Structure 1
């Protein structure tokens, strides 16, 4: 059987037994991560002279669920235009027509350093922690202003295992822990309401994760290192105390209510004692983030105004996003419509060229 022709201006290459068809400008593809939903390669954009990350989704149109997920990831990445949120530099397909459309590729900035590596190399200074958490919160304020719950635990805050302080990869926002990295430790940064599906998530699900990351930066080890879901919850409650009756009444699951009521009563710990050698202003941030009740947690916009971040604060840079169109978020469309929507989004994208510079922390 003859091999199909490659689209003009594209080249075909094998990456770990998978065929990639990419524009000739992208060279030196090297796999850097893989999982159930996609593979990521680093590449050199020869036109711009910069290193980029290219993600190929695994069979994005194998089912309506996969097609919807792929469309959602593309739309979210296209929408993001903020220095602390990874956006889309390019999106392309080697397929020339809708009826032949079966694969597409997302091009994003390549992050040369990740937080996990940084923390292994050195104990972070207080001013570096201030700076990094401030950047995270700026990114979250932007994302949340668009009405998006990011669920950082899969993303930035794969921080411990994946990329850097830029917030990444919306396609993973509602997927399982180890899909892209092979790590399962993201449970350590997971909000308690997610662990047992206690209630409807709010945007402060991300704030909990940032609090866990910040705590780890301050003490050099994870704050809540549970060995499984229930152990994770127990580790959390050793610090937060067991929930109040008022909070238990908010839980939507009767099983969760019964479980929480069965636990021995534990008093909330004073974080100033837990973090006795840490700047009290930093502890004050944790006190506002690491609260069991999501409604009581500080928002990203509020957290930015806390005294701990005043040294780095530039209110003019704490921008908000344009409103995001959620109209298809809950739609159940046939495959051909998801394909058409996705193909249209690809054709309408205007590529962005990065300046040649290293991304650093």
Structure 2
């Protein structure tokens, strides 16, 4: 799910109950929602990657939820497969720092339908909006945000899942500073992280690890650590660290901060032309993190230094990040759960067709709405 952050006005249409159907309809920005009648519409809160998101009250529990409608969900089969993947992941994950799926509305039939409705936790804002607001961000704020992010990432990685698109707008927040990771549509397992020809989709450019930009033969959990490090730097400086205009500019910006990589640093790059390109760039010296972030906690900068490492083999993993002194007082192994089993990616190995995807999502909805 995408960040639930953009405010929207109330719809002029009140909930319209459909007699004897158990459904209610309302219109939001030209989009008609038809949902189970225990959901009471509140307001539009934004646009997700694939659809409109609204807040609503679940009258059964009294809790507020987010409802995302994905209209014409099967027009692009690759996008539809990503939505299926995200549904499976959200259903699998049960963790305080990962957005959870509360409901998946049952479609009217196994096939032939067009729209998908996904109901998740309601969060008030996202980290992008907080970073670029006037709100003061103390070291304690940053520490708590990063700890929760690491805690959620630990659970994901222990389940054989790489997020691949960590950035501030994919980190949802509440006023009490609770954080939840969202938008898992690009996630992959470690073993099949190199076989889907989706490299250009992986990680919004500014948060993209060197091994992805340079088209390494494979990548690993370490790319999430890089993305998390970029988020960390953005919290510290209130601006993106590597806002590249294209992938060549991205490499140059990384080297301008980290310095020219050594031969050993480039050992993971299998592409000889990529190595030649890097060697052709002007020699740059490393810029101390304390120069970039003079007001930052030095302990925070030491952690950042171990995350934003050019060679993915030399980056801290998530366990090492959590054990770093920056999280002293928060880190507690007993309160940092890992997955009981790895996520089963075998379902993902199929050629998508519209009827097959519709049938699979219909089956997933039966977990929430047994026939």
TM over 0.5: yes
Alignment match, 1:49: 62
Secondary structure, aligned partner of 2:74: coil
Distance in structure 1 (CA, Å) of the matches to 2:74 and 2:22: 25
The reply to whether residue 264 of structure 1 matches residue 282 of structure 2 is: yes
**What are the ranges of 5 or more consecutive residues in structure 1 without an aligned counterpart?**
179-183, 352-361
Q: 1:42 to 1:300 in 2, by over 3 A?
A: same
Contact kept? 2:265, 2:311, Cα under 8 Å: yes
Displacement after TM superposition at 1:169 (Å): 1.8
Q: Which residue of 1 aligns with 2:368?
A: 349
- 1:166 paired to 2:189: no
Cα distance, 1:295 vs. partner? 1.4
The residue aligned with 1:355 is: none
Give runs of aligned pairs for residues 1-361 of structure 1, distance below 5 A. Answer: 8-34=21-47, 37-95=50-108, 97-119=109-131, 120-153=133-166, 157-159=169-171, 165-171=179-185, 173=187, 186-321=204-339, 322-349=341-368
> Residue 241 and residue 14 in structure 1: after superposition, are their counterparts in 2 closer, same or farther (change >3 A)?
same
Q: For the residues of structure 2 that align with 1:116 and 1:259, how far apart are their CA atoms?
A: 33
- Shift of the alpha carbon at 1:150? 0.2
Q: 1:177 to 1:244 in 2, by over 3 A?
A: closer
Q: Distance in 2 between matches of 1:124 and 1:32?
A: 24
Number of paired residues?
339
CA distance in 1, matches of 2:288, 2:172: 26
| C-alpha distance in structure 1 between counterparts of 2:71 and 2:60, whole Å | 27
* Range with greater deviation from structure 2 (161-170 or 285-294): 161-170
User: What do residues 263-288 of structure 1 show as CA deviations (whole Å, max 9, x unaligned)?
Assistant: 12223233344434432211110111
Equivalent-residue separation in structure 1 for 2:79 and 2:301 (angstroms): 42
Secondary structure at the residue paired with 2:56? strand
C-alpha deviations, 1:95-120, integer Å up to 9, x for none?
A: 1x214443221101111132233332
Checking the alignment, whether the CA contact within 8 Å between 2:71 and 2:116 is kept in structure 1 is no
Q: 288-297 vs 321-330, which deviates more?
A: 321-330
- Cα shift readout 1:287-346 (whole Å, capped 9, x = no counterpart): 110011111111112210001101112221211123211002232254333322221111
Compared CA separation, residues 239 and 63, structure 1 to 2 (3 A): closer
CA contact (8 A) 1:115 1:164 kept: no
Does 54-63 or 131-140 show the bigger shift? 54-63
Spell out, residue by residue over 1:233-283, the C-alpha distance to the aligned partner (whole angstroms, 9 max, x if none): 222111111222233342233432232122122232333444344322111
Cα shift at 1:77: 0.9
SS in 2 for 1:90: strand
**Structure 2 CA distance, aligned partners of 1:298 and 1:232?**
22
Question: Does the 8 A contact of 1:67 with 1:338 survive in 2?
Answer: yes
Query: How many angstroms does 1:231 deviate by?
Result: 2.3
Partner of 2:195: none
Report deviation, 1:145: 0.8
CA RMSD of aligned residues (A): 3.0
TM-score w.r.t. the length of structure 2 is: 0.81
Q: After the TM superposition, which of the residue ranges 302-311 and 232-241 deviates more from structure 2?
A: 232-241
Alpha-carbon distance in structure 2 between the residues aligned to 1:33 and 1:196: 34
With over 3 angstroms needed to count, the CA separation of the structure-2 counterparts of 1:316 and 1:46, relative to structure 1, is same
1:189 CA displacement: 2.5
